[in-house]
Chain A
Amino acid sequence: MAAIGLSLIFGCMQIVFIAHGAVMILAAYCIYWMVTLTSMNPFLGFLLIIPVFSGLGWILYTGLFQRLAKAGKNPSLLLAFGLMILLEHLMSFVWSPNVRTVTTSYSSSALSLGSINVSVTRLIVAIVALITTGLIFLFLKKTMLGKAVRGVSEDRGTAALLGISPSWVSAVTFSIGIALAGVAGAATSITYPFDPYFGFLFSLKALIAVAFGGLGSVEGALLGGIILSLLESISSYTISAGWADAVGYAAFLIILILRPEGLLGRRSVEKG
């Protein structure tokens, strides 16, 4: 899910949004606050996260990134990096750098499906991820705005010649990307313990999943995410947990060597 958000942002705006993980963790802390202060159900929090974080995305894009759009990629990367550091330190200031967990009444309950035990929270998270992904796909494939997002990510200039405002579409895309990071972070909060600096790992993993599947391709990001997590689970089960990351990165390297554009990456089609 994080990977899809990142892929959308990268595809549409050519911004490598390294602060993605930090935004996720911010959402995790928001859920943490909601649960500990108001003892509300964390899944209700999900519904709050979406509008709040899309609003945050809108402000971030129109306020900061849009101004840098003309200056090229490097200033945006720096800005994202700065944003990440700022968020991390803000979070450790507000919530302290201690590891937090969000617990629910059913955190410890599990469902048995034959010989497999699945924890209820993980199951719900998986369902949320599936629904979100499905909705994003529908949006991109079936709505005019979704098609415009795909058009703008392929060629901003041509989109403008058709009457599509690239900056408006970019702002929408960025908001969706940040909202996805928010949902992903909320999901993280109830499945993993987290601290303010935990997000970078997610940025890294999401970036790899995106590159794995093909930069700017939403289908690719999803596929990359699934393959990467499958590889890691299988290798931690068959070899050892310590090797999971190594296997993931090795697979990533192999893909980069064999297919630098990623599994479903765009190849430029030039025909005379």
Chain B
Amino acid sequence: MVNQLLEVKHVDVFYGDAQAVWDVSFHVNREKVTALLGANGAGKSTLLNTISSVIQPRQGEILFSGNSLANLKPEKVVAMGISHVPEGRRLFSRLTVLENLELGAYLPNTRPLMHESMERAFKLFPVLKDRKGQSAGSLSGGEQQMLAIARALMAKPILLMLDEPSLGLAPLIVNLLFDIIRVLNKDGVSILLVEQNVHKTLEIADYGYVLKTGTLKMEGRAKDLLNDPDFQQAFLGMVI
């Protein structure tokens, strides 16, 4: 049990009166890559938003290193060590690349380390260094995704949650991003990855959960899932 970094227990999430997630439980192990898979509307992003307290669950609880995240504000969840790269990157497009990164290290305990984190970010994503004076909105899609990840890393997260990082990007860039996710994981960052790109995700993931219309359908080690006939059936036709 010590191995479990994040535990999501029997969570129900509603948008107003509409239920989006039904009784979902899963966990993320320390220093592993965990994948949440499923089609559009399966509730993957909703779960990430629930973990980072953008939405509060109506039922169930979420524990991080054994501490409950209930009723925390999003800004407090980050302070606990969970960084969330939201779907669609959500950069401050009018701010420069450098300013985006600086705001990533806004938390009082990460601010003194800003210089060091910045060097690390530039080492991981050299292209950002060349573009640091440019406004974030002027970057290409791939560069924007890199900046979004680099910005989240500035907060020195223990758990990094990535929501559809490959969305809308060219295959070459997607490969690059997945390589970087693997490198980050080797450096000791635990990762919760939400993706529709099933094959690529299971290549780097240790464990996977499959969601369908707000309920958990299947789970297993990444290798086992790929060979599971039910899993293949479920994703047949939607995997490229």
List of A residues within 8 angstroms of B219 by Cβ: none
Q: Which of B52, B94, B111 contacts A144 (CB 8 A)?
A: B111
Report Cα–Cα, A151/B151, bound state, in Å: 13
Known: A144-B102, A161-B78, A162-B151. A154 touches B93 (CB 8 A): yes
Q: Is B99 positioned at the interface, with any CB of A under 8 Å from its CB? A: yes
Residues A155-201 near B (CB distance < 8 A)? 155, 157-166
The residue on A at minimum CB distance from B78 is: A163
Taking CB atoms, residues of chain B closer than 8 Å to A166 are: 75
Max chain A Cβ within 10 angstroms of own Cβ: one of B54, B90, B95, B141: B90
Q: Mark B164-189, 1 if CB is under 8 A from A, else 0.
A: 00001100000000000000000000
Which of the segments A75-83, A131-139, A264-272 contacts the partner chain?
A264-272
Q: How many residues of A contact B (CB 8 A)?
A: 22
Contact assessment for B99 and A147 in the assembled complex, using a CB-CB cutoff below 8 Å: yes
Contact A165 B75 (CB under 8 A): yes
Q: Give, as a whole number of angstroms, the nearest-CB distance from A265 to chain B.
A: 10
Question: With A151-B92, A154-B95, A157-B54 known to touch, is A164 a contact of B75 (CB < 8 Å)?
Answer: yes
Least CB separation from B102: chain A residue: A147
B149 on the A face (CB < 8 A): no
A148 to B144, CA, bound (A): 19
Q: Is the CB of A163 within 8 A of B138?
A: no
Residue pair A150, B141 in contact (C-beta under 8 Å): no
* Contact call A163/B155, Cβ cutoff below 8 A: yes
> With a CB–CB cut-off of 8 A, which chain A residues contact B227?
none
Closest residue on chain B to residue A217 by CB atoms: B94
A160, B168: Cβ atoms closer than 8 Å: no
Q: Which of B73, B103, B151, B169 contacts A147 (CB 8 A)?
A: B103
Q: Which of A148, A161, A164, A165 has the most CB of B within 10 A?
A: A161
Give bound CA distance, A157 to B74, whole Å: 9
CB distance from B160 to the nearest CB of A (A): 12
Q: How near does chain B come to A266, taking the closest CB pair, in angstroms?
A: 6
Contact B79 A269 (CB under 8 A): no
For residue A162, which residues in chain B have a CB less than 8 angstroms away from its CB? 75, 78, 103-104, 106-107, 151-152, 155
Kindly identify which residue among A155, A157, A161, A271 contacts B140, using a CB–CB cutoff of 8 Å: A271
Q: Which residue of B lies closest to A165 (CB)?
A: B75
B37-82 contacts to A (CB < 8 Å): 52, 54, 73-75, 78-79
Interface string of A82-98 (1 = CB under 8 A from B): 00000000000000000
Q: Is B84 an interface residue, CB under 8 A from the partner? A: yes
Distance of A172 Cα from B155 Cα, bound (Å): 23
A170 vs chain B, min Cβ distance (A) = 13
B126 within 8 A of A: no
CB of B168 within 8 A of CB of A269, answer: no
* A271 neighbours in B (Cβ, 8 Å): 137, 139-141, 144
Q: B86, B94, B99, B144: which contacts A161 (Cβ < 8 A)?
A: B86
**B52–A164 touching, CB < 8 Å:** no
With a 10 A CB-CB cut-off, give which of A154, A163, A271 has the most chain B CB atoms.
A163
Which 5 pairs show the lowest CB-CB distances between chains A and B? Answer: A269-B137, A163-B78, A160-B74, A272-B168, A163-B107
